[in-house]
Amino acid sequence: MGIVSKGSTCDVEDCEEVAVRSLNTKKVEDAGLRVNSSGKKTALCKKCYKEWKKATKEDRSLERARYDRG
């Protein structure tokens, strides 16, 4: 996972933050994030990357722990 070059913006829908990470588009979509990217790679800003991490984490474990948070 490379770090994207300065000046790129986040590929998540409705987000225009500066991108800090670049991930496989499929991985991002699998986590439930909507992306505008049509390529293999999706650029994510700090915030969206955090969201993505959170989402993938929930997938793997914690399926019970977060149930009651709505």
Q: Which positions lie near Zn ion, rule CB under 5 A?
A: 10, 12, 15, 17, 45, 48
Which of 10, 28 has the CB closer to Zn ion?
Answer: 10
Residues 6+ apart with CB under 8 A from 3: 20, 21, 22
Which of 28, 45 has the CB closer to Zn ion?
Answer: 45
Least distance in angstroms from the C-beta of 46 to Zn ion = 8
Least distance in angstroms from the C-beta of 52 to Zn ion = 9
Q: How many CA atoms lie within 13 A of 66 on its CB side?
A: 9
